[in-house]
Structure 1
Amino acid sequence: MADAPTLSRFRAPDTTLILAGIIVFAAVLTWIVPPGEYARAEIEVEGVGTREVVVPGSYGRMERGDEGVVSRLLHSAAMVLQAPIRGFVDEDAAPIIAFVLLVGGAFAVLTETGAVDAALRRVVSAAERSPTLDVLLIPLFIAIFSLGGAVFGMSEETIPFVLIFVPLALALGYDSLTGAAIPFLGSAAGFASAFFNPFTVGVAQGISGVALFSGAGFRVVLWVIVTAVVAGFVMWHARRVRRDPARSPVHAIDAAQKGEGLVEVESGFTATHGAVLLAFAAGIGVLVAGVLLAQWYIVEIAALFVGLGVVMGAVGGLGGNGTARAFMMGVRDLAPTAVIIGLARGILIVLEDGHVVDTILDALASGLGGAGATLAACAMFGIQTAINFFVPSGSGQAALTMPLMAPLADLVGVSRQTAVLAFQMGDGFTNMIIPTSAVLMGVLSLAKVPWPTWAKWVLPLQLLLVTVGLVALVIAVGIGYA
């Protein structure tokens, strides 16, 4: 427990504060970086419509106006203060903000019915009575949580599951690291390698002008590999701890927790819970069919989830008021994400107002162009990984980086689909270790695991996943993933 005081003194800067600081920094850059621009051309993207892209090789410098220093200072200050509202009403950001809030409300209704928790408890109770399930427990649940991360961006929802899986892991002879890892690393694996996650893949593809959820086949293969790597790592650790509990990095902490005993796990699964889960599964089926067959985009998908939320609330017995309250609680919980998207878009608005975005793109392209498409794609992965420490929000990071990375991909010979892949892996993998992740810190707090202990334990997994990511990008470039 010696690390606990150090952890309690750590105060990661708030994401909103970070973005506000970046807005100010962007305004400063408009004084330093010379203005310039590329010529633009409109292209038709299947399933998305017309999109504007830069014309490679057309960059040219611009002359600044004759306004004085005081006038420029006043204009820069005004742009900094206006950036948040301009980000909210921006034609690219506004639909994404509405989409995130509405989908979040629908998932809150699902959570409120208790169907997910009841199903989990029933499976856990059966596993305690079956040696076969005991062996399959870790890979089974990691796969389930990973599927949640891959399909609908399950992330914060994993936090309460720690209260079930840590006591269960201790009772089965594992440790609290294993208990926390099953839900958290499972969902994080799916989040990073998602094939239908609307909060990362959907947002990034929408901003990049890529057909929504296209290229899913490649990402499904990636999801299987990443999930298998995570499951294998956790299983290896769990079996080693079961053989020799003293080898666990949290052995002393777990010794105290074991005295508290395992919480009673009842099945509690009713026909109502089954009906809710069936309705949800049917809704996901309609989503997949709509995207693949009718080329649904943000508006149609958001409408589906609003309707699905109503159906799940009715089937789950929440009633009109209960459904409405749960829906608005979900909207409230995702309000910070909406603000982050608006602020992130505001950064680009400030840079665009100073006509420095294209200059930055030209500098990045010049730095990566000579390296070749493969190295450029890997460099994009590295850039997204570094940015994720400061902006640990998938949709927020997409809104911040993809307007830059998508046209940059055009300039360096990398497909925009590959640029989206570099983004989602760069955003997702380090969510498992960075202390600025609110989800990670919430999970560790419930599991009573100090962050430095977790970081040291999960670092080898991070190196494995980075290797998988680099190999995936090399293959994506090689096959012309588009």
Structure 2
Amino acid sequence: MSAHSPNPVVPSSDRPTSFWRRYFKIPHTFVLLVILTLIATALTYLVPAGEFEREKDPASGNTLVVPNSYHSVEANPISLVEVPRAIVKGLIDASDIVFFVFIIGGAFQVITATGTIEAVTGRVARTFSKRGILVIPVFLALFSVGGFTMGMSSEVMVFVPLGIAIARSLGYDALTGTAMVSLGASIGFTSGLMNPFNVGIAQVIAEVPMFSGMWMRALLLLVLLVITSWYVIRYARRVKKAPAKSIVHNLEGESTDRKMDLTQIPGLQVKHILTVLTIGASFALLIWGVSKKEWWMEELSALFLTMGVVSGFCAGFGPSRIANEFVKGASAITFGAFIIGIARSILIVLEQGNVIDTIVFVLSNAVGHLPGSIQVLGMYFFQTIMNVFITSGTGLAATTMPIMVPLSDLLGVTRQTSVFAFQMGDGFTNMILPTSSALMGSLAVSGITYQQWVKFMWPLMILWVTTGAVFVIIAHMISY
């Protein structure tokens, strides 16, 4: 019923709908993970206990499942009173990853507070403001860097007004401006060249070198940039030629701010250049340390901590300001960090109940007789579906990768390919799911309705998901 209806009484026929909306909606992520932990507890009573033999691969150093070694073992069902302890144990077991995420969140908040991101974006805006359509691929590429390094997602909404203002000054609409910012961060996050929040954690769980296999992810990023640039440019040109064809034509009609003053955008200062150099040097050191010195969570956490502190000093911050910004960033990432530990409790329950290997055994038998390409596609679409319920990349990695890793071993799918399937399944649909905080936050800032966004986005989403399917098949064929 309309909010302006003269009759405030809700018809009785509408009450069931109100009831269902109130009590049967998608629960909070923590609640969902606890429910999954309770389901795992029930499975320890329902699923026969069994396990595979495992041995260490001398070549890679990884602990692998021995094929055809599944056998029954004594059942060990988990009681309900043990569930809270499993959740706490999950947080303890995942403490290295949890604190790694806290440190990254704090470090990148210090970098954000320096104003470097706004300054670099402003410099790009001024440089390309007279070159029309080039602004779209440049902004997509620029924000993809934020996506594949610091895992920029929800943070991107801060830059949406800037994108809209620039797009309108060039004769485009708010949808174009929102897309060239949000979609850039999204394809960067999905390709995940050096994204510690999804690829990094998934590779830790899969026991492959962190950020290894970067060439394939770089190729994915390039393809996504080409496809997305073509799609947004095609739409923008149509809008400029015939403004009435804009999906958000009503929003454009209401707007009085069609132009922007580029002089109001922050300029690039010495402190910003020093911060950019610090970030670049840190990621270069990260690649060297991981590839040559086998750095792991402890060394990487120390590196990111140092990067944040040095960036703060480059911007002229005092120790107290750096500490305040670090705490602010770490606090903001608490939700994602706790997801990792709570998700680990699912695995702990299944392991203690001796049923996780049985689940893997059943899954492997279900797809074992299918062609290899179908098997790996099944893993890819499984991750895509799971992303509907767990939109956090860190949470999804912690929940699904412990099951996908032994399954990939049994199916002859490389662990790197398993991580690849995860990152694409985790990333693509974030730009169309109403449960995505990054998407809904950007739409709230832009004034674009969810329905308008879906009308614009669904053809591109099909292109993205299809591209992911092709890439994961190729990855499997070449034993990536």
What TM-score, normalized to structure 1? 0.91
Q: Quote how far apart the aligned CAs of 1:63 are.
A: 4.1
Pick aligned residue for 2:229 from 224, 228, 231: 231
Paired position in structure 2 for 1:333: 332
For residues 68-467 of structure 1, the aligned pairs below 5 Å read 75-90=78-93, 93-128=94-129, 130=130, 132=131, 134-259=132-257, 262=260, 265-467=264-466
Task: Report the CA distance between 1:243 and its aligned residue.
Answer: 1.1
Query: One-letter code of the match for 1:422?
Result: A
Q: Which deviates further from its counterpart, 377-386 or 264-273?
A: 264-273
* Contact 1:45–1:209 (8 Å) recurs in 2: no
User: How far apart, in 2, do the equivalents of 1:15 and 1:238 lie?
Assistant: 36
Aligned twin of 1:23: 37
Aligned residues: 460
Do the aligned partners of 2:41 and 2:79 also contact (CA within 8 Å) in 1?
A: yes
Q: 1:52 is matched with which residue?
A: 63
Amino acid at match of 1:440: L
Letter in 2 for 1:80: V
1:96-150 CA-to-partner distances (Å, cap 9, x unmatched) read 111111111111100011111122123213333x2x3x22111011011112212
Mapped partners of 2:119, 2:87: distance in 1: 41
Distance in 2, Cα, partners of 1:12 & 1:137: 38
- Which residue is 1:62 aligned to? 73
- Indicate the residue corresponding to 1:6 in structure 2: none
- Answer yes or no: is the 8 Å Cα contact 1:139–1:231 preserved in 2: yes
Find the residue that maps to 1:53 and give its secondary structure.
strand
Superposed displacement of residue 263, structure 1: 6.5
Matched, 1:35 2:49: yes
369-378 or 36-45: which moved more? 36-45
After TM superposition, the score normalised by the length of structure 2 is 0.91
* Distance across 2 between alignment mates of 1:258 and 1:409: 55
The letter of the residue matching 1:476 is A
The answer to whether the 8 Å contact 2:209/2:290 transfers is no
Instruction: Provide structure 1 residue ranges, at least 5 long, that are not aligned to the other structure.
Output: 4-8, 66-71
Amino acid of the structure 2 residue aligned with 1:161: F
Letter of the structure 1 residue corresponding to residue 440 of structure 2: M
Q: Tell me, in whole angstroms, the C-alpha distance in 2 between the residues paired with 1:461 and 1:54.
A: 39
Which structure 2 segments of 5+ residues have no match? 4-20
Question: What is the deviation of 1:472?
Answer: 0.8
Task: Please give the alpha-carbon distance, in whole angstroms, between the structure 1 residues aligned to 2:256 and 2:437.
Answer: 26
- Give the superposition deviation at 1:420: 0.6
Q: Which amino acid aligns with 2:92?
A: V
Provide the rounded CA distance (Å) in 2 between the counterparts of 1:215 and 1:276. 27
Give 1:117's aligned amino acid: E
Segment drifting more, 267-276 vs 9-18: 9-18
Query: Structure 1 CA distance, aligned partners of 2:117 and 2:102?
Result: 21
Moved more, 30-39 or 384-393: 30-39
User: Separation in 2 of the partners of 1:159 and 1:389?
Assistant: 21
CA contact (8 A) 1:340 1:396 kept: yes
Shift in Å at residue 293 of structure 1?
Answer: 2.4
Between the aligned partners of 1:414 and 1:16, the Cα distance in structure 2 is 31
After superposition, give the CA deviation of every residue in 1:31-58 in whole Å (9 maximum; x if it has no partner): 2222211112123575xxx432221111
Residue 407 of structure 1, CA deviation? 0.7
Retained in 2: the 8 A contact 1:389–1:434?
A: yes
Work out whether residues 113 and 313 of structure 1, in 8 Å CA contact, stay in contact via their aligned partners in 2. yes
- Root-mean-square deviation (Å): 2.1
Letter in 2 for 1:135: I
